[in-house]
Amino acid sequence: MKRRVVITGLGAVTPLGNSISETWEGICRGKSGIAGITKFDCTLFETRIAGELKGFDPTRYVNRKEVRRLDDFIIYALAASEMALADAGLTIGAAEAERTGVIIGSAIGGLATMEKEKEAISLGGPRKMSPFAIPSVLANLAAGHVSIRSGAKGPINCSVTACASGTCSIGDAGRIIAGGHADCMIAGGADAAVTPMCVAGFNAMRAISKRNDEPEKASRPFDRDRDGFVIGEGSGVVILESLPHAMERGARIYGEIAGYGNTSDAFHMAAPPDGHEGAARCMQAAIGDAGMTAAGIDYINAHGTATQMNDAFETEAIKTVFGQHARTLAVSSTKSMTGHLLGAAGAVEAIFCLKAIGEGVLPPTINLDYPDPDCDLDYVPHRARKRAIRTAMSNTFGFGGVNAVLIFKKFEE
Amino acid sequence: MTLEEKVIAVIIEQLDVTREECSIEASFIDDLGADSLDLVELIMEMEEIFNVQIADNELEKIRTIGNVLDYLKSKGVVWNE
């Protein structure tokens, strides 16, 4: 018998704000978090825009020494985790330590550190390499530092499944609790990849928008004039608990994990197969895991990257899975506002699903000015919509053919 | 700035400690909260600033601020800035 798993704490730093409240307010107002790149000199780059954090003060979360020795993706994860733990009112004492675990995913890990250290070697030779380089580059070190900081001594892992990392982290963490291997999990994703290699690399793949003169309009999922995604950075973290654990301590419950699906395309390193067959199977797997029917889903937070291929293929997959119901359910892409937070995307989008359920507000898809004829669902264009919903599905798909889908539902005893 | 003042300024910056903590006898690990990786980074910074190369076997002898000063002086390092 699987144990029920609920979400009791949320934390995030995103291009829309350095807290959950600021970020959610931006979402409700349909604000764009995209602007010119400030993290490096991008003069020579085809793409010069990104979703960077704004006014984030790392010394609120780590000391000056750690600011120097930790890659930003680790600091973002520490910030989001601290917020989520405080939000949940969870203190991890001796009794809970071994029953509390951490899974923080990251698509790219400490890429900025890797680039900086490679330059140090190139200019000064191998002796110029920092002793902190390796532990800053490794993707699992976000989870490692969150564990060290919080005292969680249970299961620890790191999903490295590209843009599905955040979703896989929460999905796997939910299964660890459902299977009885832990009572609480700190789970989410973090990435800080607004770096020369990342921008130039995605440019080389023709994957990211070059709408440099209109940053706020650059991320336009499902729009006819979309020209790729916009790289974002940040972290989202949630606190998962077994229902009895949450009830016993009288925790506030944001919602319940109803189902999780995870499939592989077994097709191509970056492109989806026709009809996004793997994504469709993944949505079906999550619906099956939830013991629901497709008609029970009220809202989908789409992967919706704003690449030509993703948006059309994802729309087709949604139609395959939902049939007539695809015409009545609401679908939106919050990446239109946050940009694509890569390994953090699934985590912040899970948070948006929980907020949508809790607040009765559907996030909009902004910049949907000229709907693509191939993308003909209700994408909640331009403005957030007040609507009470009971269930929300979060889609994420990553390079390597990874598909991961979570379903959240309103908590009812 | 004397050699001693410069060394202490680097230590304050690298280890995020206060001037008051930096007595000549202060041990990096026991008194200044450094771990072995902090020490490696600190020595790299000293090598860069004072243009010396500190061999790994000599590294083991450097435990306090005084050890660093003695080592630099033994290599003929002078500092006036």
Mean pLDDT of all residues in A24-53: 98
Quick check: B59 contacting A, CB < 8 Å?
no
Q: Do residues A7 and A235 make contact, with C-beta atoms less than 8 angstroms apart?
A: no
A65 vs B15, B40, B44: nearest CB? B15
- Find, in chain B, the residue whose alpha carbon is nearest to that of A127: B44
Q: How confident is the model at residue A1 (pLDDT cuts 50, 70, 90)?
A: low
Report the gap between the CA of B22 and the closest CA in chain A (Å).
16
Mean pLDDT of all residues in A171-197: 98
Q: What pLDDT, on a 0 to 100 scale, did the predictor assign at position A2? A: 87
The reply to whether A5-248 and A259-409 are identical in fold is yes
Mean pLDDT of all residues in A190-218: 98
A132 vs B15, B16, B37: nearest CB? B37
Is the Cβ pair B38, A64 closer than 8 Å? no
Catalytic-role residue among A145, A245, A276, A340: A340
Quick check: B41 contacting A, CB < 8 Å?
yes
Instruction: Establish if B19 belongs to a structural domain.
Output: yes
Instruction: Establish if B40 belongs to a structural domain.
Output: yes
Q: How confident is the model at residue A11 (pLDDT cuts 50, 70, 90)?
A: very high
Q: Say if residue B81's pLDDT is above 80.
A: no
Quick check: A293 contacting B, CB < 8 Å?
no
Mean pLDDT of all residues in A35-47: 98
User: Mean pLDDT, chain A, as a whole number?
Assistant: 97
pLDDT tens-digit readout, A328-354:
999 999 999 999 999 999 999 999 999
Rounded to an integer, what distance in angstroms lies between the CA atom of residue A231 and that of residue A253?
32
Q: What pLDDT, on a 0 to 100 scale, did the predictor assign at position A22? A: 98
Catalytic (active-site) positions of B = 35
Quick check: A63 contacting B, CB < 8 Å?
yes
Taking CB atoms and an 8 Å cutoff, what residues of chain A touch B38? 65
Instruction: Establish if B24 belongs to a structural domain.
Output: yes
CATH number at residue B66: 1.10.1200.10
Range of the domain at B32: 3-74
Cα–Cα distance list, A278 to A204, A215, A268 (Å):
25, 32, 11
Is the Cβ pair A130, B14 closer than 8 Å? no
Q: Do residues A34 and A22 make contact, with C-beta atoms less than 8 angstroms apart?
A: no
Chains A, B: CB pairs < 8 Å: 19
Architecture of domain A259-409: 3-Layer(aba) Sandwich (3.40)
Instruction: Tally the domains of chain B.
Output: 1
Catalytic-role residue among A145, A245, A276, A303: A303
Homologous superfamily of domain range A5-248? Thiolase/Chalcone synthase (3.40.47.10)
Q: Say if residue A146's pLDDT is above 80.
A: yes
Is the Cβ pair A65, B40 closer than 8 Å? no
Mean pLDDT of all residues in A243-262: 98
Q: What pLDDT, on a 0 to 100 scale, did the predictor assign at position A395? A: 98
Instruction: Establish if B80 belongs to a structural domain.
Output: no
Q: What pLDDT, on a 0 to 100 scale, did the predictor assign at position B58? A: 85
- Domain extents for chain A? 5-248, 259-409
Which pairs count as long-range contacts for A196-199, CB under 8 Å and 24+ apart, including other chains? A196/A40, A196/A42, A196/A45, A196/A115, A197/A111, A197/A114, A197/A115, A198/A108, A198/A111, A198/A231, A199/A37, A199/A42, A199/A45, A199/A47, A199/A50, A199/A231
- Find, in chain A, the residue whose alpha carbon is nearest to that of B48: A128
Quick check: B29 contacting A, CB < 8 Å?
no
Taking CB atoms and an 8 Å cutoff, what residues of chain B touch A130? 41, 44
Rounded to an integer, what distance in angstroms lies between the CA atom of residue B41 and that of residue B16?
13
Report the gap between the CA of A371 and the closest CA in chain B (Å).
54
Candidates A59, A63, A65, A132: best to mutate against B (most CBs of B within 10 A) is: A65
